[in-house]
Structure 1
C-alpha cells in the first residue's frame, strides 16, 4: 500500500509536477516492479514443474503468458498488475471506507442501506452508496495535460481556450455539487435519479472496470451492513483518501 499510495499521489494529486513526489513514485514503481518480477518467476517455476501457477489474478496472468496472441510479456504483465493495484484495489478499498463513513453520520440513509442489503435489493443499495460517494468520493480531482488547443464550453458564456500543453485540473468533487447538473446537490437523497457520473466518468474515457468496482463496493458494504458497526478510532486520511478506518462490529439486533 505504501508503493500504491506513492504512485497514486503522483498520478492523481501532483498537477504541478512536484519533483519530490515524482521521485517517490519512481522509487515505489521500481520496488513494486522488482517484487512483481520475483513473484512472477516463482509462479512460473510452479507452472514449469507441472503445478498450477495459482488460482488468483497473478496465477491466471502467468498462465495466459502461454497464449501467443495476447503478447503478455514481462513488462506488460507488470503494467497490468500495477494498474490493478493503483486503479482497482486501492480505490475500491477507499470507496468502501468512505461510503460507510458517510452512512455512519446519516442514520436515516444507513437504515435504508441496511434494509436494501437485507432484502437483496442491489439497485437500491447501490443508489444509496453512490449518493454517499458523491459526498465523499475516492478522488477529488483529476489533472490532465491538454494535447492540442481546445475551445471549452464553446458558444457559452463560460467559453475559454485551453492552449496545447496546459495542465488542466478537473475538480470532479466540486462538479458533483453543481446545481446545473445535479438537482438539490446539498441534500443527501437515497432516491436520487440518475445524473452525470462523477464517480466513474462517461464516454470513451469512462472507467473500464466500473461494473467490477460497483459489485465489489456493493458486496463489501452489504457484508458489513449485516452487523452493527461504529468507528472505534479516528478515520485517518492522506489527501482525502482513507488510510485507516477502524470499525467495531457486533451482531445486528433484530428490530423491536
Structure 2
C-alpha cells in the first residue's frame, strides 16, 4: 500500500512500536523484579565478580563488543557515585566499543577528560537554563494538542497512544528537524534498531549488528543533509541545530560532521528513555490516586514527582567505566583494564542513602540521581528529559479523573538494563 499523508504517520508509529518492543526484549523484559536481587547484593555482595547482566543474557555497556573483558558489578550508591566522579581513575572510553561503533568517534559519553571538556564547553550554551526555558514554551502546546486529540475517547493505552510517539516528536522539535511526522517516526525507528544491535547471542548479533550499522548510516546521511541545509540558510534558529551551528569556544567551532554525530547520538536513547521513565512514574502515580490528586491540585509538585520517578525506577539501570589503575572495593581487588558495571538502579534504591527506598515518595530529600551519571559526565540531556516530562504530566493531569482502567490488566514494570511498563491502560471522565 502506498503511504498517504493520513496513513504514513500511523504506519511509522506502528514501526517504532515494533522496534521499541524489540529493544525491550533484548534488554530483559522477562526480569520482573531485579530490585529484590539488588537489595540482597547491597547487603551481602556489594561487589560482584562478574557482570550480572551477562548472567541474565542481557547486553552490557561493560563489554558491549563481547570481547571477554573482566567485569565487576557495583551495587551501592556511594561506590557508584565515587566511580562516576573520578574520570581519571575510571575512564568511560570503553563506551566507544559499544554504541560508539554505530555513532562515530565523536561520542560524548565515551570521550576522555581532555577532549570531553572541549566538547562540553562547546555544547554548554545549547543547554543553558534560558534555552531550556525556551524549549518548555515550544513543547507545551505540542503536548497539549496530543493529549487533546485523545481526550474525546475517554480511554487510552498510554504507552502506544502517547508515550511512544510523543517524546519522539518533542525531541525532534528541540533538535530542529523538519516538521514531518512520518519522517520523524522513521528516524526514531532507526534509532531503536541501533539499540538492538548488541546481542549476547553471536548468531543473532550478525543480523542485528548489520541492521544497526545500516540504520546508523541512514541517520547520519539524513541528518547531515539537514545540517548542511541549515548552515546554507544562515545557521539561524533557537533549536539545537541552530545553537550547534553557531557554537564557539576558545576559537573552536563544530563542523557539519561533528554536529551530525552529536545529533545522531541523541536519537537512539533520547525519546526511548523518556518513554520508559515517564511510563514508570505514571504507574507509581496512578497506583496512588491521593498523591495524583495532590499533584493535580498543586502543580509546583510536578518537578518533585519527576525527580522521584527517575530515582524510583531508573529507565537505564546500568552505566559502565573502565579502571585505569588497580583499585579495590570492599576487599575485592579490581585490576587495571577491568570494567565496572555500575548498577545505578540499585544505587538509587540504596537504603543507606534513601529512607524506605522502594516507596515512591515525592517529599524525600533530593540526592544525585546516578542513573544520569555524575561529575563531568553528567548527562546533558537530563534537563531536556525533565522538560518533556513536565509538559506531559501537566497535560495528563488536566484530564478529568484520570485513573487506571479497571477493565484492563494492571501495569507491570519489567526489564533488566532498560525498565518500564509494557502497557498502561487508563480512563478518564
When normalised by structure 1's length, the TM-score is 0.72
CA distance in 2, matches of 1:65, 1:189: 40
Q: State the partner residue of 2:264.
A: 82
1:57-96 superposed Cα distances (whole Å, 9 cap, x missing partner):
334544x279993421122111221233245444234323
Q: Which of 290, 311, 323 is equivalent to 1:134?
A: 311
Are positions 1:187 and 2:366 aligned together? no
Q: How does 1:66-77 map to 2 (within 5 A)?
A: 69-77=251-259
Say if 1:127 and 1:192, in contact at 8 Å, map to a contact too: no
Unaligned runs of 5+ in 1: 153-157, 252-256
The 5 A counterparts of 1:1-256 are 1-8=188-195, 19-20=205-206, 22-45=209-232, 47=233, 56-62=239-245, 64=246, 69-86=251-268, 88-117=270-299, 121=300, 124-152=301-329, 158-228=330-400, 229-230=402-403, 240-241=418-419
Paired residue secondary structure (1:227): coil
C-alpha contact 1:15 1:167 (8 A) present in aligned 2: no
The 2-side partners of 1:166 and 1:243 are apart by 33
Q: Report deviation, 1:141.
A: 1.3
Displacement of 1:132: 2.6
Does 1-10 or 95-104 show the bigger shift? 1-10
How far residue 36 of structure 1 moved from its aligned partner, in angstroms, is 0.9
CA distance in 1, matches of 2:313, 2:215: 27
**Structure 2 SS opposite 1:81:** helix
**Residues 209-250 of structure 1: CA deviation (Å, up to 9, x unaligned):** 433433332232122212144567887977635597676675
Q: Is the 8 A contact 2:228 2:256 kept in 1?
A: no
Any conservation in 2 of the 1:15–1:169 contact (CA below 8 Å)? no
CA distance in 2, matches of 1:114, 1:7: 38
Higher relative contact order (CA 8 A, sep 6+): 2
Q: CA deviation at 1:139?
A: 0.8
State the distance in 1 between where 2:201 and 2:321 align. 11
Instruction: Give the count of matched residue pairs.
Output: 234
**Pairwise CA RMSD:** 3.7
Structure 1 residues 15 and 189, CA gap change in structure 2 (3 angstroms): farther
Q: 2-side partners of 1:198 and 1:217: how far apart?
A: 19
Query: Structure 1 or 2: larger helix share?
Result: 2
SS in 1 for 2:363: coil
Separation in 1, partners of 2:321, 2:302: 33
Q: What is the CA-CA distance between 1:110 and the residue it aligns to?
A: 1.5
Q: Contact conserved, 1:181 with 1:196, CA < 8 A, in 2?
A: no
- TM-aligned CA distance change 1:92 to 1:125, over 3 Å: same
TM-score by length of 2: 0.46
1:81/1:164 CA distance change after superposition, 3 Å: same
CA spacing shift, 1:188–1:96, aligned 2, 3 Å: closer
Take 2:422 and 2:227, find their aligned partners in 1: how far apart are those partners? 30
Matched residue SS, 2:370: coil
Contact 1:3 1:29 in 2 (8 A): yes
